[in-house]
Structure 1
């Protein structure tokens, strides 16, 4: 087992200090790290050589495991332990209290961060649960639950007796102490909390980038006749006076620059149209829009007044008109000069809007391109099972028109038509300015992609807008202040056009959503077609799932603890999936009839979720084959392969059955669910919620040295609560490596009865708001809830325990991810029995299987119909069985990623860029994280999988990830070093993925106490890198017009000496991997 620390060369240190230790997380904040034994020995010369009764193995281990960390050399030299080793205080608690008084005095003052030792527990804890200092029984010790409680242990008492009270106090005051928690993770005991240092460190780095970001052209100083003195750099690192204030001013200015100003594109999703009093759909802009407000009450031929024009200009250019003055007081004489030339433009916009027929334009644009092919998957039709079932349940004929989405080209044409009909801004060349590519980019962007004002204003020249010139002649030199003002006006105009005109127009004309098949793709349906399609589905929901609430109960439902939820529908190939939005803030009407926003329903259910998670971990044996993540599929499959090998010598023929519960969430019986919850939570009467922070290591340079900080919480039954946080930190560290844990010393309690009451209200009183009507869900549990996945898993776990317990025998395995069952067995009769039992359903649980999603690896006639069989290979055998994003080899139980899912739709629909800023410099981080999504232990273990399968997995991972690269750089102008940038980033990400995957596999093997753990990752680095380069070059070769230079660099890399002879060895794997994914659309 490797040592948890590496030796690193120390910086300027005292002669008596040993070399500093290196830790992947702590060293990012503390350059000087020593063991407690070495540090004390460097300050007290005879500490190690002193013969003492306490020199036991346990105490020696304690001294070598505790770390002392320092942020700088001054802090290190400031801690001088006292040679006076007298023990003054009779008890350890009094010594701790005296040390804390010194810490409090040192931490007092404006701007100083409080020491971790001074953090106290919340006052709502029960005092009788806290240990009492026996020397002062009348004074409750509130700090024992915090980090200070760790110093009451016997090891710290022995240490105090050896170094004395003065040195003990200085040790707590001047050092940041860390104790081991397992897996090379450490718990902070003293010093400034690490999560505060994280904030300080990131602020310092950001300020440094701000102050040092002024770029200079190469050779500019030599060509300048009169050289200007270079100003001194003022950064927080140099700590010059006023540098932080200037940095704050600079940051405030950065918030207003175009690249930091994003259009709120998310506002146009899931919009409802406006209907007039006659029930007719209102086309164009909503009635509340300023253009419609100025039109209201006026005839079409009536010219707009100057006040109307000024009102429109004030809405477009908020900085141009003084907000403190009344617009009606302006006259043509006292108007600002810049406004005089813009009155005519505003009047022209209002007149054009009054004469515009939005309904006719939309009808013309959509009919003109009616034959255009849709970019989305084929829509469902009236012959689908959903339509047939719906028609049968409602006993009525449904409309023959299928729900067909409008293409992005149709929507773009409509937007351009409206723009050209309403806005005419002539340039110096006599041509009108048009949104062009900007509007197309805005419409085709994916759901969570951001659109900045900077990207929308590209390819526009400020001087081309004639209306900005005023009395100045074209081509006349403009002062810098005037040019800055013109730029601000153009940006205000673009911002208004997209956010205040196009978004309301699109929202009122189309229903914008994502679908179950297109994922991140933005899909547009006309509001008329959408309402016609969803109306019968809402009627079906009212008949089967919902019941309307009486008007007298509406106010009580709105004032409920979880409020009223809004529902929306997501299109599926066979209908719609209802999703309840429980993440929106609850609007609670108060006595003054004003609406005030409070927490969302999911936030209120946060403590319940933590309690259920705690019981899930504590009672995992009662949950059967439940999986709580796709990464949990590997251990049971590994165990099954080991059992079958011991039982048969070799793997026998295996039978696979996959089935799914139909309408799993909506068919759950509510009373049955509440009984199950009462049974799950009956073991404890109260839980303690503890909050803590976790800091993860910066990782490889592929992540550009950025560490990650997480704030987490955990529910612990009161009977399992320990006196100190250190015992809980060991449980937290079980699933981590090289992390730092900080106790935030925040606790609060929640009772089991409170959780059950909240769950009962959530399940039985879930209220939907559909339009202006209110409904209560009478069956099932809400989808979209924070606890819905856990509730569904627990519900079907009880079903499994009651009806499928016979599947738990040697040679068989039953897995279930929420409601998706997978049964693997070597017994054909058991496989048939499983199919028969599942086909009959479970009426007492309201569960019926979905025949369409049932899949078998063998032919079997259930009596009613022939169950579908998985596809076979060229030899006629079932090779790969799909389940939860994986492909399982039926003959060897090898695991592969399910790449077949990406062959049915374009690869660009599988991801979305959250930001368009700094695409080049962010590519390294983005590409590395995309590779991590399929860098599982299950795909890399060379003991469970064959070496050929692992090589295939590596190739497919890099091939599928590289297919996203052309879409990542779409619309980005190529720079001089573009090819070198992409090539270097890909190689760096490849190296990081190799080391991260190997570390993940070895960590998993160590936790299982397996011998010969290196055999579980026998793939060499050269083989891994060559597979990755080959996959990347195969993919980018198809995009040679943009990435030819990158392909040349990749192919040149493969010819290096280190890869000599490997190309022939891996040729078969590469060819097989490329044949598997080459049909993917990218």
Structure 2
């Protein structure tokens, strides 16, 4: 019937607007339909319960068939459907439009590649995903070959060895959030000029010859051993077995290995017979072969990379840091004397009380550009007017004013020159969550726990961080926004269950404070939480939605 077709159109629209991993369940698919919408059930005779159940089953199977074999094939025939810069958002592009723009982007991406006819062991087909200001080429190096092994899996031992070696020789590099936390709290950012910038296409512009020389200097040992061991422990009444891999000098076994804080006291450890011994020269050769033999397939043509590091590899970020240590020694460290350079892969942060150090770096950056490295000015941030920094400005004796209220974002952390004021860059956190049609309440609870764990970092709530109470407020604001995005899609709300989820998150936050020995005023935390719920509108939203008024 005409009414039935209107409902189907609304279902198609609802399906298209769903996020990644979301679909329509049986209840959502058959909602608002009745047997009289189908001509085969136009008889007005009263039917018994069994016949009504049979008709409902026929309606569901009919709608499922129409979606699976008619509407979805039509979508995939005329549109290219892909995820984008958002974790869950789905984009639909007409096929001709998508092909035109991706071909243009591939032409630019292949500037550092050369066409070849020689087949390599791993040849991968890249793809594009949309981002806010264009497209990004994505290469899946974790895709398994016919032998069931991926390129990233084959390079796992190399990654482990480099990671262990880098801990002893990391220079200005920041290894992880713990390293960022320890470095940031030791440095006094008060009254510092700060500028954050990154390198444009950093993976694509690294010269192979210079990198190979730096790689030879990086490895200090002549031989590396990689050993495997396993652990068995009890978790929630179940036996859990995990495989681990570690780089040792060959003389130690699992009993002598210094395990971290995650190691459980009731954990049983045992060694594997596997041990991989790599000599320094063989290790360097294998890494350089991986870089210089990177081959992509686009259409029917093969392209081999002549410059830069392969995209999508587990080795590329850590190899990129090795190359930038070369830039640190030969360029940045020459000009930064009073200040400090922080670097995480290709993200740079310079903090210094002397503005002339930053000016000297920008005035002489042409030395770095000779290596093919250029700045991405679109992503540059500073707490001063950096657009006018030049030698001519210094000659005019015009002061460079410091904006103490301007915060910078670096690796998801907001930094202020007013002291140890570190906060989470919540603008970068994605609030579009995949909604589960099956058991939506339990799915919401699990997803909120995972979301909350992103905030559970000591540097946000440390006693030296004067921004720590505001970070608690931001935490509950983001939890409220995330929860409302889930609740809007639910057909009804169990108010008692929702408040139990919030109570569980509050307990998890307090347990984190106790575990990390962080001292807070509980009454103040409670007031901050209630204020966040009121400001976000969560309390009002739950009350109205639970009464079925919206």
CA distance in 2, matches of 1:474, 1:745: 74
CA distance in 2, matches of 1:566, 1:718: 38
Match for residue 346 of structure 2?
A: 819
1:566 to 125, 138, 144: 125
Gap change, CA 1:433 and 1:853, over 3 Å in 2: closer
Deviation at 1:686, TM superposition (A): 3.5
Match for residue 399 of structure 2?
A: none
1:522 to 82, 90, 99: 90
CA distance in 2, matches of 1:490, 1:608: 56
Structure 1 gaps, min length 5: 1-425, 587-595, 642-650, 699-705, 868-874, 1003-1016, 1048-1082
CA distance in 1, matches of 2:178, 2:437: 31
Secondary structure of the 1:610 match is helix
CA distance in 2, matches of 1:774, 1:599: 21
Q: Trace 1:98-177 onto structure 2 (pairs within 5 A).
A: none
Match for residue 201 of structure 2?
A: 663
2:254 to 704, 722, 725: 725
Alpha-carbon contact 2:404-2:417 (below 8 Å) kept: no
Deviation at 1:460, TM superposition (A): 6.0
Gap change, CA 1:794 and 1:630, over 3 Å in 2: same
Alpha-carbon contact 1:656-1:856 (below 8 Å) kept: yes
Gap change, CA 1:786 and 1:677, over 3 Å in 2: same
Match for residue 507 of structure 2?
A: 991
Deviation at 1:890, TM superposition (A): 0.4
Gap change, CA 1:488 and 1:636, over 3 Å in 2: same
Match for residue 748 of structure 1?
A: 274
Secondary structure of the 1:910 match is coil
CA distance in 2, matches of 1:893, 1:969: 37
CA distance in 2, matches of 1:1045, 1:467: 37
Deviation at 1:458, TM superposition (A): 4.1
Match for residue 497 of structure 2?
A: 981
Q: 1:443 aligned to 2:19? A: no
Count of residues in Structure 1 that have an aligned counterpart in Structure 2: 537
Q: 1:626 aligned to 2:173? A: yes
Deviation at 1:937, TM superposition (A): 0.6
1:1026 to 520, 527, 530: 527
Alpha-carbon displacement from aligned partner over 1:669-697 (angstroms, at most 9, x marks no partner): 12333333343345142322313347697
CA distance in 2, matches of 1:912, 1:441: 16
CA distance in 2, matches of 1:440, 1:476: 33
Match for residue 888 of structure 1?
A: 415
Deviation at 1:915, TM superposition (A): 3.6
Q: 1:582 aligned to 2:153? A: no
Deviation at 1:842, TM superposition (A): 1.7
RMSD, aligned CA: 3.5
Alpha-carbon contact 2:114-2:306 (below 8 Å) kept: yes
Deviation at 1:707, TM superposition (A): 8.9
CA distance in 2, matches of 1:1034, 1:696: 43
Match for residue 967 of structure 1?
A: 485
Secondary structure of the 2:537 match is helix
Gap change, CA 1:574 and 1:773, over 3 Å in 2: same
Alpha-carbon contact 1:668-1:780 (below 8 Å) kept: yes
Match for residue 613 of structure 1?
A: 163
Alpha-carbon contact 1:928-1:993 (below 8 Å) kept: no
Secondary structure of the 1:457 match is helix
Q: 1:851 aligned to 2:418? A: no
Alpha-carbon contact 1:990-1:1025 (below 8 Å) kept: no
Deviation at 1:1019, TM superposition (A): 0.9
Gap change, CA 1:792 and 1:710, over 3 Å in 2: farther
CA distance in 1, matches of 2:460, 2:140: 35
Alpha-carbon contact 1:792-1:818 (below 8 Å) kept: yes
Alpha-carbon contact 1:548-1:775 (below 8 Å) kept: yes
CA distance in 2, matches of 1:1042, 1:689: 53
Alpha-carbon contact 1:690-1:714 (below 8 Å) kept: yes
1:918 to 431, 439, 444: 439
2:114 to 504, 524, 547: 547
Gap change, CA 1:1030 and 1:685, over 3 Å in 2: same
CA distance in 2, matches of 1:446, 1:600: 29
Alpha-carbon contact 1:692-1:745 (below 8 Å) kept: yes
Deviation at 1:492, TM superposition (A): 4.5
Deviation at 1:1033, TM superposition (A): 2.4
Gap change, CA 1:581 and 1:492, over 3 Å in 2: farther
CA distance in 2, matches of 1:693, 1:827: 52
Alpha-carbon contact 1:668-1:846 (below 8 Å) kept: yes
Match for residue 246 of structure 2?
A: 715
Deviation at 1:435, TM superposition (A): 2.8
Match for residue 398 of structure 2?
A: none
Alpha-carbon displacement from aligned partner over 1:888-909 (angstroms, at most 9, x marks no partner): 110213111224x36xxxx8x5
Larger Rg: 1
Secondary structure of the 1:732 match is coil
Alpha-carbon displacement from aligned partner over 1:559-590 (angstroms, at most 9, x marks no partner): x1xx211111233444332211222222xxxx
Q: 1:945 aligned to 2:465? A: yes
Gap change, CA 1:989 and 1:568, over 3 Å in 2: same
Secondary structure of the 1:752 match is strand
CA distance in 2, matches of 1:455, 1:655: 58
Alpha-carbon displacement from aligned partner over 1:952-984 (angstroms, at most 9, x marks no partner): 110011102211112112321115xx1222122
Deviation at 1:835, TM superposition (A): 3.4
CA distance in 2, matches of 1:740, 1:850: 50
Q: Trace 1:492-503 onto structure 2 (pairs within 5 A).
A: 492-503=61-72
1:799 to 327, 330, 346: 327
Secondary structure of the 1:994 match is helix
Alpha-carbon displacement from aligned partner over 1:373-400 (angstroms, at most 9, x marks no partner): xxxxxxxxxxxxxxxxxxxxxxxxxxxx
Secondary structure of the 2:201 match is coil
Q: Trace 1:449-488 onto structure 2 (pairs within 5 A).
A: 449-451=21-23, 453-454=25-26, 456-459=28-31, 463=35, 475-477=46-48, 479=50, 483=53
CA distance in 2, matches of 1:797, 1:696: 43
Higher relative contact order (CA 8 A, sep 6+): 2
Gap change, CA 1:1018 and 1:1045, over 3 Å in 2: farther
Secondary structure of the 1:659 match is strand
Alpha-carbon displacement from aligned partner over 1:270-293 (angstroms, at most 9, x marks no partner): xxxxxxxxxxxxxxxxxxxxxxxx
CA distance in 2, matches of 1:788, 1:998: 38
Secondary structure of the 2:126 match is strand
CA distance in 1, matches of 2:461, 2:266: 27
Alpha-carbon displacement from aligned partner over 1:446-475 (angstroms, at most 9, x marks no partner): 23x3325435534166855757779x9954
Gap change, CA 1:431 and 1:844, over 3 Å in 2: closer
Secondary structure of the 1:662 match is coil
Q: 1:510 aligned to 2:79? A: yes
Match for residue 358 of structure 2?
A: 831
Secondary structure of the 1:665 match is helix
Task: Normalising by structure 1, report the TM-score.
Answer: 0.46
Alpha-carbon contact 2:30-2:60 (below 8 Å) kept: no
Deviation at 1:808, TM superposition (A): 7.0
Alpha-carbon contact 2:384-2:403 (below 8 Å) kept: no
CA distance in 1, matches of 2:116, 2:16: 39
Task: Normalising by structure 2, report the TM-score.
Answer: 0.86
Q: 1:690 aligned to 2:228? A: yes
Q: Trace 1:43-122 onto structure 2 (pairs within 5 A).
A: none
Alpha-carbon contact 2:113-2:306 (below 8 Å) kept: yes
Deviation at 1:992, TM superposition (A): 1.6
CA distance in 2, matches of 1:636, 1:464: 70
Alpha-carbon contact 1:991-1:1025 (below 8 Å) kept: no
CA distance in 1, matches of 2:392, 2:335: 24
